[in-house]
Chains A and B, each alone.
Chain A
Amino acid sequence: GEDVEQSLFLSVREGDSSVINCTYTDSSSTYLYWYKQEPGAGLQLLTYIFSNMDMKQDQRLTVLLNKKDKHLSLRIADTQTGDSAIYFCAEKPSGNTGKLIFGQGTTLQVKP
């Protein structure tokens, strides 16, 4: 089946690194995504990683993928108060539908 799990809450201090974790069950997933949702707003795509990659870095964001353990993480370096939001992990199952399976979302709280 298709299932994506995330921890619900993370609190860090401004300037620290944040690491948000995600596990998924579908080993045939082709892409894995990280989305950011600010209060009352839609989803903003932050980054994604193809399933045959181990790591992807984009400025302050680092995505690590452990395909064997079906574990995905998002590291935000030098976390800022503007990073406070809900972060969703999502997987795209194999097949060509474009459908995404989302985790429950991790609320990141950044304290000054």
Chain B
Amino acid sequence: GAVVSQHPSRVICKSGTSVKIECRSLDFQATTMFWYRQFPKQSLMLMATSNEGSKATYEQGVEKDKFLINHASLTLSTLTVTSAHPEDSSFYICSARKTGLDEAFFGQGTRLTVV
């Protein structure tokens, strides 16, 4: 159990367009999901914490109007990169915290390339 699925795994989009990334907990309920960003050969940086039914909490320096997060159900959180630019190209990874447990499980990541 405890499988987290991200979709798509890879996406290429044009500058100025928006891209939505989905994070689903397949076999458990997750009241909290986390969105991380990873630049090449660098660590994962937490972007925001997404709580089901409420607004996401963004880390310092992350633009909430650019990275829209919606956690509409206990099994789905979405990250929308709005008006994407080449500097938004990165590897985005979500994790989902199983309700009642301390452990968070990671999705396989989404490679976003903005051209």
Chain A residues near B (Cβ < 8 Å): 4, 30-31, 35, 40-45, 48, 88, 92, 96-105
Contacts and interface: CB of A to CB of B under 8 A. Distances in A.
B34 A98 contact: yes
Interface centre among B6, B41, B103, B104 (most CB of A within 10 A): B104
For the side of the interface on B, what is the size category? 20 to 34
B111 A97 contact: no
B89 to A, nearest CB: 14
Interface of B: 6, 32, 34, 36, 41-46, 49, 93, 95, 97, 102-109, 111
B106 A45 contact: yes
Given A45-B105, A88-B43, A88-B44, 17 more contacts: A35-B106, A40-B109, A42-B93, A43-B44, A43-B93, A43-B95, A45-B103, A92-B102, A97-B32, A97-B49, A98-B32, A98-B34, A98-B104, A100-B34, A100-B104, A102-B44, A104-B43
Given A40-B111, A42-B93, A43-B93, A98 B102 contact: yes
A88 B93 CA distance: 14
Ranked 3 nearest A-B pairs via Cβ: A42-B108, A98-B97, A43-B106
Contacts of B34: 98-100
6 contacts: A30-B102, A35-B106, A42-B6, A98-B95, A102-B44, A105-B42
B104 A41 contact: no
Nearest to A33: B103
Contacts of B44: 43, 88, 102
Contacts of A88: 43-44
